[in-house]
Amino acid sequence: MRTRFSLIVLTIVILGFTTLSSGGTFDKAEYKARRVKLMQSIPDGIAVIIGSEGEKQKSNFIYFTGVEEPFSILIIDGMKKETILFLPSVESREKILEETGVDRVMPLAQFSRLLFSYQAQTNIIYTPFNRADAGYVPKGLIDPDNRLSREMNFISQIKKNFPCFRFKDLNHAIAELRVIKSPAEIEVMREAARISSLAHIEVLRSAKPGMYEWELEAIYEYTIKRLGGQGFGYEPIIPSDPKWYDSHYSENSRKIEDGDMVMPDVGGEYNYYVVDISATFPINGKFTPEQKRLNRIICAVENAMQKVFRPGIRSIDMKAEVQEIVAKQGIDLDKEGVYRIEANHWIGLDVHDVIGAGISSRTTILKPGMVLASDPAIKIRDKNGNVIGGVKIENTILITEDGCENLTHLVPRTVEEIEKVMAEKGIHDYLKKKDK
Protein backbone atom coordinates (compact mmCIF):
# COMPACT_ATOMS: atom_id res chain seq x y z
CA MET A 1 0.00 0.00 0.00
CA ARG A 2 1.07 3.54 -0.61
CA THR A 3 0.03 4.73 2.84
CA ARG A 4 1.71 4.29 6.16
CA PHE A 5 0.36 1.69 8.55
CA SER A 6 -1.29 4.23 10.86
CA LEU A 7 -3.15 5.69 7.90
CA ILE A 8 -4.33 2.26 6.84
CA VAL A 9 -5.75 1.77 10.32
CA LEU A 10 -7.37 5.18 10.07
CA THR A 11 -8.81 4.26 6.69
CA ILE A 12 -10.28 1.07 8.11
CA VAL A 13 -11.95 3.11 10.84
CA ILE A 14 -13.14 5.86 8.49
CA LEU A 15 -14.42 3.54 5.79
CA GLY A 16 -15.69 0.84 8.08
CA PHE A 17 -13.76 -1.88 6.28
CA THR A 18 -13.33 -5.08 8.19
CA THR A 19 -10.29 -6.16 6.23
CA LEU A 20 -7.66 -5.02 3.80
CA SER A 21 -6.65 -8.56 2.97
CA SER A 22 -6.83 -7.97 -0.78
CA GLY A 23 -3.55 -6.11 -0.50
CA GLY A 24 -5.34 -3.17 -2.13
CA THR A 25 -7.56 -0.39 -0.85
CA PHE A 26 -10.72 -2.44 -1.25
CA ASP A 27 -11.88 -5.87 -0.22
CA LYS A 28 -10.90 -8.59 -2.71
CA ALA A 29 -14.58 -9.25 -3.42
CA GLU A 30 -14.81 -5.79 -4.98
CA TYR A 31 -11.87 -6.43 -7.32
CA LYS A 32 -13.33 -9.82 -8.23
CA ALA A 33 -16.73 -8.29 -9.00
CA ARG A 34 -15.05 -5.82 -11.37
CA ARG A 35 -13.27 -8.66 -13.19
CA VAL A 36 -16.45 -10.73 -13.43
CA LYS A 37 -18.29 -7.75 -14.95
CA LEU A 38 -15.53 -7.30 -17.53
CA MET A 39 -15.80 -10.99 -18.51
CA GLN A 40 -19.27 -10.27 -19.87
CA SER A 41 -17.73 -7.98 -22.52
CA ILE A 42 -15.13 -10.52 -23.69
CA PRO A 43 -16.97 -13.87 -24.08
CA ASP A 44 -14.89 -14.89 -27.11
CA GLY A 45 -11.37 -14.08 -25.96
CA ILE A 46 -8.97 -13.03 -23.26
CA ALA A 47 -8.18 -9.60 -21.85
CA VAL A 48 -4.52 -8.82 -21.27
CA ILE A 49 -3.69 -5.82 -19.09
CA ILE A 50 -0.11 -4.80 -18.33
CA GLY A 51 1.04 -3.08 -15.15
CA SER A 52 3.51 -0.27 -14.67
CA GLU A 53 7.25 -0.32 -15.30
CA GLY A 54 8.10 0.73 -11.77
CA GLU A 55 6.42 4.09 -11.48
CA LYS A 56 2.98 4.37 -9.86
CA GLN A 57 0.78 1.43 -10.81
CA LYS A 58 -1.36 1.93 -13.92
CA SER A 59 -4.97 2.85 -13.26
CA ASN A 60 -6.53 -0.10 -15.12
CA PHE A 61 -4.24 -2.58 -13.39
CA ILE A 62 -4.92 -1.22 -9.92
CA TYR A 63 -8.65 -1.12 -10.73
CA PHE A 64 -8.85 -4.86 -11.43
CA THR A 65 -6.28 -6.15 -8.92
CA GLY A 66 -5.27 -3.68 -6.21
CA VAL A 67 -1.75 -4.99 -6.88
CA GLU A 68 1.03 -2.40 -6.92
CA GLU A 69 3.92 -4.62 -7.95
CA PRO A 70 5.46 -3.34 -11.19
CA PHE A 71 6.06 -5.50 -14.28
CA SER A 72 2.95 -7.57 -13.59
CA ILE A 73 0.44 -8.76 -16.19
CA LEU A 74 -3.20 -9.71 -15.80
CA ILE A 75 -5.15 -12.11 -17.99
CA ILE A 76 -8.91 -12.16 -17.66
CA ASP A 77 -10.26 -15.14 -19.58
CA GLY A 78 -13.76 -14.37 -20.84
CA MET A 79 -14.27 -17.93 -22.08
CA LYS A 80 -13.34 -19.96 -19.00
CA LYS A 81 -14.27 -17.08 -16.69
CA GLU A 82 -11.00 -17.11 -14.81
CA THR A 83 -8.28 -14.64 -13.90
CA ILE A 84 -4.54 -15.25 -13.99
CA LEU A 85 -2.06 -12.87 -12.41
CA PHE A 86 1.57 -12.90 -13.57
CA LEU A 87 4.11 -11.45 -11.16
CA PRO A 88 7.87 -11.00 -11.64
CA SER A 89 8.43 -13.31 -8.70
CA VAL A 90 5.98 -15.44 -6.75
CA GLU A 91 7.14 -15.94 -3.19
CA SER A 92 3.92 -17.21 -1.67
CA ARG A 93 1.29 -18.34 -4.12
CA GLU A 94 -1.27 -19.00 -1.36
CA LYS A 95 -0.86 -15.54 0.12
CA ILE A 96 -1.29 -13.80 -3.23
CA LEU A 97 -4.28 -15.95 -4.15
CA GLU A 98 -5.83 -15.14 -0.80
CA GLU A 99 -5.09 -11.40 -1.07
CA THR A 100 -6.21 -10.86 -4.65
CA GLY A 101 -8.96 -13.44 -5.13
CA VAL A 102 -7.58 -14.31 -8.59
CA ASP A 103 -7.82 -17.91 -9.77
CA ARG A 104 -4.17 -18.50 -10.61
CA VAL A 105 -0.85 -16.81 -9.88
CA MET A 106 2.08 -17.51 -12.18
CA PRO A 107 5.62 -16.21 -12.60
CA LEU A 108 6.01 -13.70 -15.39
CA ALA A 109 8.42 -16.03 -17.14
CA GLN A 110 5.48 -18.30 -17.97
CA PHE A 111 3.41 -15.61 -19.68
CA SER A 112 4.52 -16.49 -23.22
CA ARG A 113 3.92 -20.17 -22.65
CA LEU A 114 0.39 -19.53 -21.47
CA LEU A 115 -0.28 -17.19 -24.38
CA PHE A 116 0.93 -19.96 -26.69
CA SER A 117 -1.59 -22.37 -25.19
CA TYR A 118 -4.44 -19.87 -25.68
CA GLN A 119 -3.97 -20.12 -29.48
CA ALA A 120 -5.93 -23.39 -29.42
CA GLN A 121 -8.94 -21.63 -27.85
CA THR A 122 -9.18 -18.17 -29.39
CA ASN A 123 -7.45 -15.71 -31.65
CA ILE A 124 -8.83 -12.63 -29.89
CA ILE A 125 -6.90 -10.58 -27.36
CA TYR A 126 -8.62 -7.60 -25.78
CA THR A 127 -6.24 -4.97 -24.43
CA PRO A 128 -6.38 -1.20 -23.89
CA PHE A 129 -5.04 0.68 -26.92
CA ASN A 130 -3.32 3.47 -25.02
CA ARG A 131 -1.61 5.43 -27.75
CA ALA A 132 -1.19 8.62 -25.75
CA ASP A 133 1.03 7.16 -23.02
CA ALA A 134 4.14 7.70 -25.12
CA GLY A 135 3.81 11.44 -24.76
CA TYR A 136 2.25 14.23 -26.71
CA VAL A 137 2.83 14.20 -30.44
CA PRO A 138 1.18 17.13 -32.24
CA LYS A 139 -1.40 16.07 -34.81
CA GLY A 140 0.09 15.76 -38.27
CA LEU A 141 3.67 15.51 -37.03
CA ILE A 142 5.63 12.41 -37.91
CA ASP A 143 7.08 11.53 -34.50
CA PRO A 144 10.88 11.69 -34.99
CA ASP A 145 11.38 9.24 -32.13
CA ASN A 146 8.73 6.82 -33.37
CA ARG A 147 7.50 6.45 -29.81
CA LEU A 148 4.84 3.85 -29.19
CA SER A 149 3.12 3.59 -25.83
CA ARG A 150 4.05 0.52 -23.76
CA GLU A 151 0.65 -0.92 -24.58
CA MET A 152 1.10 -0.54 -28.35
CA ASN A 153 4.65 -1.89 -28.11
CA PHE A 154 3.34 -4.86 -26.17
CA ILE A 155 0.78 -5.55 -28.91
CA SER A 156 3.43 -5.41 -31.62
CA GLN A 157 5.67 -7.81 -29.67
CA ILE A 158 2.84 -10.34 -29.26
CA LYS A 159 1.99 -10.00 -32.97
CA LYS A 160 5.58 -10.81 -33.88
CA ASN A 161 5.64 -13.93 -31.71
CA PHE A 162 2.04 -15.08 -32.23
CA PRO A 163 0.81 -13.80 -35.62
CA CYS A 164 -2.54 -15.57 -35.24
CA PHE A 165 -3.84 -13.17 -32.57
CA ARG A 166 -6.13 -10.29 -33.49
CA PHE A 167 -6.39 -7.36 -31.08
CA LYS A 168 -9.49 -5.51 -29.94
CA ASP A 169 -9.50 -2.33 -27.88
CA LEU A 170 -10.61 -2.95 -24.29
CA ASN A 171 -10.78 0.70 -23.28
CA HIS A 172 -14.50 1.17 -23.83
CA ALA A 173 -15.49 -1.90 -21.82
CA ILE A 174 -13.21 -0.86 -18.94
CA ALA A 175 -14.48 2.72 -19.08
CA GLU A 176 -18.09 1.53 -18.79
CA LEU A 177 -17.14 0.01 -15.43
CA ARG A 178 -14.80 2.71 -14.17
CA VAL A 179 -17.18 5.57 -14.97
CA ILE A 180 -19.63 4.36 -12.29
CA LYS A 181 -18.01 4.52 -8.88
CA SER A 182 -18.94 1.97 -6.23
CA PRO A 183 -19.84 3.06 -2.67
CA ALA A 184 -16.33 2.07 -1.52
CA GLU A 185 -14.70 4.11 -4.30
CA ILE A 186 -16.89 7.08 -3.39
CA GLU A 187 -15.70 6.90 0.23
CA VAL A 188 -12.07 7.02 -0.96
CA MET A 189 -12.88 9.96 -3.23
CA ARG A 190 -14.55 11.74 -0.28
CA GLU A 191 -11.27 11.45 1.60
CA ALA A 192 -9.28 12.69 -1.44
CA ALA A 193 -11.72 15.61 -1.58
CA ARG A 194 -11.43 16.35 2.13
CA ILE A 195 -7.65 16.52 2.24
CA SER A 196 -7.44 18.44 -1.04
CA SER A 197 -10.01 20.97 0.18
CA LEU A 198 -8.08 21.41 3.44
CA ALA A 199 -4.96 22.05 1.35
CA HIS A 200 -6.82 24.84 -0.46
CA ILE A 201 -7.79 26.30 2.91
CA GLU A 202 -4.17 26.15 4.11
CA VAL A 203 -3.03 27.91 0.92
CA LEU A 204 -5.62 30.65 1.42
CA ARG A 205 -4.35 31.16 4.98
CA SER A 206 -0.72 31.40 3.88
CA ALA A 207 -1.05 33.35 0.62
CA LYS A 208 0.56 36.80 0.71
CA PRO A 209 1.78 39.29 -1.92
CA GLY A 210 5.43 38.68 -2.77
CA MET A 211 5.21 34.88 -2.55
CA TYR A 212 6.08 32.78 -5.57
CA GLU A 213 3.59 30.45 -7.20
CA TRP A 214 5.84 27.52 -6.27
CA GLU A 215 5.49 28.43 -2.59
CA LEU A 216 1.75 27.91 -2.84
CA GLU A 217 2.46 24.64 -4.68
CA ALA A 218 4.69 23.53 -1.80
CA ILE A 219 1.97 24.28 0.76
CA TYR A 220 -0.56 22.27 -1.24
CA GLU A 221 1.84 19.33 -1.46
CA TYR A 222 2.81 19.44 2.20
CA THR A 223 -0.78 19.61 3.39
CA ILE A 224 -2.02 16.84 1.09
CA LYS A 225 0.80 14.51 2.20
CA ARG A 226 0.57 15.53 5.85
CA LEU A 227 -3.13 14.56 5.80
CA GLY A 228 -2.41 11.12 4.37
CA GLY A 229 -2.53 11.70 0.63
CA GLN A 230 0.22 10.55 -1.72
CA GLY A 231 0.71 13.93 -3.40
CA PHE A 232 -0.74 15.73 -6.38
CA GLY A 233 -3.43 14.02 -8.43
CA TYR A 234 -2.16 15.84 -11.52
CA GLU A 235 0.41 18.52 -12.34
CA PRO A 236 -0.47 21.47 -10.08
CA ILE A 237 -1.52 24.55 -12.05
CA ILE A 238 -1.03 27.85 -10.15
CA PRO A 239 -1.17 30.82 -12.52
CA SER A 240 -1.17 34.38 -11.20
CA ASP A 241 -0.68 35.96 -14.63
CA PRO A 242 -4.05 36.21 -16.44
CA LYS A 243 -2.31 35.07 -19.61
CA TRP A 244 -2.23 31.56 -18.11
CA TYR A 245 -5.69 31.51 -16.50
CA ASP A 246 -7.66 28.31 -17.15
CA SER A 247 -4.79 26.62 -18.95
CA HIS A 248 -2.41 23.76 -18.19
CA TYR A 249 0.37 26.14 -17.10
CA SER A 250 2.37 24.36 -14.39
CA GLU A 251 5.68 26.20 -14.33
CA ASN A 252 4.52 27.95 -11.15
CA SER A 253 7.60 30.17 -11.13
CA ARG A 254 6.18 33.71 -11.04
CA LYS A 255 6.34 36.12 -8.12
CA ILE A 256 2.78 37.04 -7.16
CA GLU A 257 2.38 40.79 -6.75
CA ASP A 258 -0.08 42.76 -4.67
CA GLY A 259 -3.29 43.11 -6.68
CA ASP A 260 -2.88 39.81 -8.57
CA MET A 261 -5.59 37.17 -8.66
CA VAL A 262 -4.37 33.58 -8.40
CA MET A 263 -6.28 30.78 -10.15
CA PRO A 264 -5.00 27.48 -8.73
CA ASP A 265 -6.18 24.21 -10.28
CA VAL A 266 -4.87 21.65 -7.78
CA GLY A 267 -6.14 18.33 -6.44
CA GLY A 268 -4.57 15.61 -4.36
CA GLU A 269 -4.37 11.83 -4.63
CA TYR A 270 -5.54 9.46 -1.93
CA ASN A 271 -5.12 5.71 -2.45
CA TYR A 272 -4.93 6.22 -6.23
CA TYR A 273 -8.11 8.33 -6.45
CA VAL A 274 -7.92 12.02 -7.26
CA VAL A 275 -10.14 15.08 -7.16
CA ASP A 276 -10.09 18.22 -9.27
CA ILE A 277 -10.43 21.65 -7.62
CA SER A 278 -10.00 25.16 -9.00
CA ALA A 279 -10.40 28.46 -7.20
CA THR A 280 -9.73 32.15 -7.84
CA PHE A 281 -8.64 34.56 -5.09
CA PRO A 282 -6.82 37.89 -4.62
CA ILE A 283 -3.32 37.34 -3.22
CA ASN A 284 -3.78 40.27 -0.82
CA GLY A 285 -6.91 38.74 0.70
CA LYS A 286 -9.31 41.52 -0.34
CA PHE A 287 -11.56 41.40 -3.42
CA THR A 288 -12.03 44.61 -5.45
CA PRO A 289 -15.66 45.47 -6.36
CA GLU A 290 -15.17 44.02 -9.88
CA GLN A 291 -13.56 40.86 -8.48
CA LYS A 292 -16.50 40.56 -6.07
CA ARG A 293 -18.91 40.88 -8.98
CA LEU A 294 -17.15 38.15 -10.97
CA ASN A 295 -17.00 35.86 -7.92
CA ARG A 296 -20.71 36.36 -7.27
CA ILE A 297 -21.50 35.40 -10.88
CA ILE A 298 -19.31 32.29 -10.96
CA CYS A 299 -20.61 31.10 -7.56
CA ALA A 300 -24.18 31.57 -8.78
CA VAL A 301 -23.46 29.58 -11.95
CA GLU A 302 -21.66 26.80 -10.05
CA ASN A 303 -24.50 26.57 -7.51
CA ALA A 304 -27.06 26.50 -10.31
CA MET A 305 -25.13 23.72 -12.04
CA GLN A 306 -25.26 21.71 -8.82
CA LYS A 307 -29.04 22.19 -8.78
CA VAL A 308 -29.26 20.88 -12.34
CA PHE A 309 -26.83 17.90 -12.28
CA ARG A 310 -28.96 14.76 -11.84
CA PRO A 311 -29.43 11.30 -13.31
CA GLY A 312 -31.19 11.19 -16.67
CA ILE A 313 -29.80 14.36 -18.26
CA ARG A 314 -26.86 15.02 -20.58
CA SER A 315 -24.59 17.75 -19.31
CA ILE A 316 -24.44 19.32 -22.77
CA ASP A 317 -28.15 20.13 -22.42
CA MET A 318 -28.06 21.81 -19.02
CA LYS A 319 -27.24 25.40 -20.00
CA ALA A 320 -30.86 26.57 -20.47
CA GLU A 321 -31.84 25.37 -16.98
CA VAL A 322 -28.77 26.98 -15.44
CA GLN A 323 -29.55 30.23 -17.25
CA GLU A 324 -33.11 30.17 -15.95
CA ILE A 325 -31.88 29.83 -12.36
CA VAL A 326 -29.22 32.57 -12.54
CA ALA A 327 -31.46 34.93 -14.54
CA LYS A 328 -33.55 35.24 -11.37
CA GLN A 329 -30.40 36.69 -9.77
CA GLY A 330 -29.97 39.16 -12.65
CA ILE A 331 -27.20 37.23 -14.39
CA ASP A 332 -27.07 36.73 -18.16
CA LEU A 333 -24.63 33.88 -18.91
CA ASP A 334 -23.92 34.91 -22.47
CA LYS A 335 -23.51 38.60 -21.71
CA GLU A 336 -21.03 37.76 -18.95
CA GLY A 337 -19.18 35.33 -21.21
CA VAL A 338 -19.52 32.35 -18.86
CA TYR A 339 -18.28 29.24 -20.60
CA ARG A 340 -18.22 25.48 -19.95
CA ILE A 341 -21.63 24.94 -18.42
CA GLU A 342 -21.36 21.18 -18.59
CA ALA A 343 -19.42 18.26 -17.14
CA ASN A 344 -15.94 18.96 -18.44
CA HIS A 345 -14.55 15.48 -17.76
CA TRP A 346 -14.96 12.43 -15.53
CA ILE A 347 -12.78 12.07 -12.40
CA GLY A 348 -11.64 8.95 -10.57
CA LEU A 349 -8.36 7.07 -10.72
CA ASP A 350 -7.28 9.72 -13.24
CA VAL A 351 -8.15 13.40 -13.27
CA HIS A 352 -9.38 13.05 -16.84
CA ASP A 353 -10.82 9.67 -16.06
CA VAL A 354 -11.41 7.14 -18.86
CA ILE A 355 -10.68 9.84 -21.42
CA GLY A 356 -10.80 8.84 -25.07
CA ALA A 357 -12.75 5.65 -24.39
CA GLY A 358 -15.92 6.79 -26.12
CA ILE A 359 -17.91 7.81 -23.04
CA SER A 360 -18.19 11.58 -23.26
CA SER A 361 -18.95 13.49 -20.07
CA ARG A 362 -20.90 15.94 -22.20
CA THR A 363 -23.18 13.66 -24.20
CA THR A 364 -23.61 10.64 -21.92
CA ILE A 365 -26.85 10.43 -19.94
CA LEU A 366 -25.77 10.93 -16.34
CA LYS A 367 -26.21 8.08 -13.87
CA PRO A 368 -25.74 7.75 -10.08
CA GLY A 369 -22.12 6.99 -9.21
CA MET A 370 -20.61 9.13 -11.97
CA VAL A 371 -18.07 11.68 -10.76
CA LEU A 372 -17.34 14.72 -12.88
CA ALA A 373 -15.72 18.14 -13.02
CA SER A 374 -17.96 21.18 -12.88
CA ASP A 375 -15.77 24.14 -13.84
CA PRO A 376 -17.47 27.20 -15.30
CA ALA A 377 -15.18 30.13 -16.04
CA ILE A 378 -15.03 33.65 -17.42
CA LYS A 379 -12.11 35.32 -19.18
CA ILE A 380 -11.87 39.09 -19.48
CA ARG A 381 -9.99 40.27 -22.58
CA ASP A 382 -8.67 43.63 -23.74
CA LYS A 383 -9.46 44.99 -27.18
CA ASN A 384 -6.55 43.01 -28.64
CA GLY A 385 -7.92 39.73 -27.30
CA ASN A 386 -5.35 39.35 -24.52
CA VAL A 387 -6.69 37.88 -21.28
CA ILE A 388 -6.43 40.50 -18.54
CA GLY A 389 -8.67 38.96 -15.89
CA GLY A 390 -11.08 36.20 -15.12
CA VAL A 391 -12.54 33.75 -12.67
CA LYS A 392 -12.95 29.97 -12.47
CA ILE A 393 -14.43 27.59 -9.90
CA GLU A 394 -14.03 23.84 -10.17
CA ASN A 395 -15.64 21.21 -7.98
CA THR A 396 -15.62 17.43 -8.09
CA ILE A 397 -19.27 16.39 -8.29
CA LEU A 398 -20.87 13.00 -7.61
CA ILE A 399 -24.16 12.18 -9.34
CA THR A 400 -26.54 10.71 -6.73
CA GLU A 401 -29.94 8.97 -7.02
CA ASP A 402 -31.82 12.27 -7.05
CA GLY A 403 -29.30 14.98 -7.85
CA CYS A 404 -25.67 15.50 -6.98
CA GLU A 405 -23.23 15.88 -4.12
CA ASN A 406 -20.33 18.31 -4.18
CA LEU A 407 -17.42 16.21 -2.89
CA THR A 408 -15.23 19.33 -2.61
CA HIS A 409 -17.76 21.36 -0.62
CA LEU A 410 -15.20 22.35 2.04
CA VAL A 411 -13.40 24.78 -0.30
CA PRO A 412 -14.31 28.39 0.62
CA ARG A 413 -16.17 29.94 -2.31
CA THR A 414 -17.99 33.17 -1.42
CA VAL A 415 -16.14 36.48 -0.99
CA GLU A 416 -16.96 36.40 2.73
CA GLU A 417 -15.70 32.82 3.18
CA ILE A 418 -12.48 33.45 1.26
CA GLU A 419 -11.66 36.78 2.94
CA LYS A 420 -12.31 35.26 6.38
CA VAL A 421 -9.95 32.31 5.80
CA MET A 422 -7.31 34.54 4.21
CA ALA A 423 -7.26 36.71 7.35
CA GLU A 424 -6.23 33.67 9.43
CA LYS A 425 -2.62 32.68 10.03
CA GLY A 426 -1.14 29.89 7.91
CA ILE A 427 2.01 27.76 7.78
CA HIS A 428 3.81 30.52 5.90
CA ASP A 429 3.24 33.00 8.75
CA TYR A 430 5.21 30.76 11.13
CA LEU A 431 8.21 30.45 8.82
CA LYS A 432 10.09 33.66 9.48
CA LYS A 433 13.24 34.41 7.54
CA LYS A 434 16.34 35.10 9.66
CA ASP A 435 16.69 38.81 10.49
CA LYS A 436 19.27 40.51 8.36
Q: Does 234 bind ligand GLY (CB under 6 A)?
A: yes
Beta strands 166-169 and 124-127 are parallel
Of the two residues 336 and 353, which places its CB atom closer to Mn ion in the complex? Answer: 353
Of the two residues 99 and 217, which places its CB atom closer to ligand GLY in the complex? Answer: 217
Q: Which of 215, 265, 302, 353 binds ligand GLY (CB under 6 A)?
A: 265
As measured in angstroms, the least distance from the Cβ of 276 to ligand GLY is 5
Question: Shortest CA distance to 335 belongs to which of 367, 378, 274?
Answer: 378
Please give the C-alpha separations between residue 401 and each of 135, 300, 363, 377, 405, in angstroms, as whole numbers: 38, 23, 19, 27, 10
Q: Does 213 bind Mn ion (CB under 5 A)?
A: no
Q: Which of 276, 336, 342, 353 binds Mn ion (CB under 5 A)?
A: 276
H helix intervals, 2-82: 5-15, 28-39, 59-65
Q: Does 199 bind ligand GLY (CB under 6 A)?
A: no
Q: Which does 234 bind (CB under 5 to 8 A by kind): Mn ion, ligand GLY, none?
A: ligand GLY
Q: Which does 350 bind (CB under 5 to 8 A by kind): ligand GLY, Mn ion, none?
A: none
Q: Give the integer Cα–Cα distance in Å for 29 and 101.
A: 7
Burial bucket for residue 312 (CB in 10 Å: 0-12, 13-18, 19+): exposed
Q: Does 351 bind ligand GLY (CB under 6 A)?
A: yes
As measured in angstroms, the least distance from the Cβ of 375 to ligand GLY is 7
As measured in angstroms, the least distance from the Cβ of 86 to ligand GLY is 34
Q: Which of 185, 202, 276, 336 binds ligand GLY (CB under 6 A)?
A: 276
Strand blocks (E) in 149-258: 166-169, 231-232
Q: Does 249 bind ligand GLY (CB under 6 A)?
A: no
Say what the alpha-carbon torsion angle 268, 9, 66, 56 is, to the nearest 10 degrees.
Answer: 40
Of the two residues 158 and 391, which places its CB atom closer to ligand GLY in the complex? Answer: 391
Q: Does 275 bind ligand GLY (CB under 6 A)?
A: no
Of the two residues 32 and 340, which places its CB atom closer to Mn ion in the complex? Answer: 340
Please give the C-alpha separations between residue 122 and each of 40, 86, 116, 233, 363, in angstroms, as whole numbers: 16, 20, 11, 39, 35
Query: What's the count of helices (H) and strands (E) in the chain, helices before strands?
Result: 13, 17
Q: Does 187 bind Mn ion (CB under 5 A)?
A: no
Q: Does 179 bind Mn ion (CB under 5 A)?
A: no
Count CA atoms closer than 13 A to 146's CA, side-chain side: 1
Which residues in this chain contact ligand GLY in the complex, by CB under 6 A? 234, 265, 276, 351, 373
Which residues in this chain contact Mn ion in the complex, by CB under 5 A? 276, 373
